């Protein structure tokens, strides 16, 4: 029988090397999933919002606040031009 704790543990676990490797791999995969899941959820939500905005732009349901820029032009006119260009592209 081994005299130290690490040697004692290794004495019993060396028969189960495949299980040790599998447990280590599962631990690494689980930690990566925990780390990246919030980021992936953010990407899904951002993509859904972007697609919803594109759908609204195509149907003309987006309403912009009307304000006057520093040159005195109405921003709603510029917004309407952008929407028309987007509809021609999309």
DSSP conformation letters of 3-42: SSHHHHHHHHHGGGHHHHHHHHHHHHHHHHHHHHHHHHHH
Tell whether 40 and 77 lie within a shared domain.
no
- Count structural domains, the chain: 2
Judge if 48 and 71 occupy the same domain: no
Token pair for 6: 């690490």
Q: How confident is the model at residue 64 (pLDDT cuts 50, 70, 90)?
A: very low
CA dist 48 and 1 (Å) reads 61
Look at residue 36 and tell me whether its pLDDT is greater than 60. Answer: yes
CA distance 31 to 48: 26
- pLDDT greater at residue 31 or residue 73: 31
> Same domain for 41 and 68?
no
Which structural domain, as residue segments, surrounds residue 87? 60-90
Reported pTM: 0.47
Q: Is the domain of 45 the same as that of 64?
A: no
Q: Are residues 11 and 47 in the same domain?
A: yes
Number of neighbouring beta carbons within 10 Å of residue 26 = 10
What is the Cα–Cα distance from 20 to 26, expressed in whole angstroms? 10
Shared domain for 37 and 70, answered yes or no, is no
Q: Are residues 33 and 67 located together in one domain of the fold?
A: no
Query: Across all residues in the chain, what is the average pLDDT?
Result: 75
Say if residue 69 is in the same domain as residue 86. Answer: yes
Give me the mean pLDDT over the 38-55 stretch: 86
- pLDDT for residue 51 is more than 80: yes
- pLDDT, average across residues 3-9: 91
């Amino acid at each position: 029988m081994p005299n130290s704790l690490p040697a004692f543990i290794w004495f019993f676990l060396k028969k189960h090397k495949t299980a040790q490797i599998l447990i280590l791999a599962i631990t690494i995969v689980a930690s990566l999933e925990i780390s990246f899941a919030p980021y992936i959820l953010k990407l899904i939500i951002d993509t859904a919002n972007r697609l919803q905005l594109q759908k609204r732009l195509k149907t003309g349901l987006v309403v912009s606040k009307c304000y006057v820029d520093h040159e005195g032009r109405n921003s709603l006119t510029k917004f309407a031009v952008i929407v028309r260009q987007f509809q021609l592209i999309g």
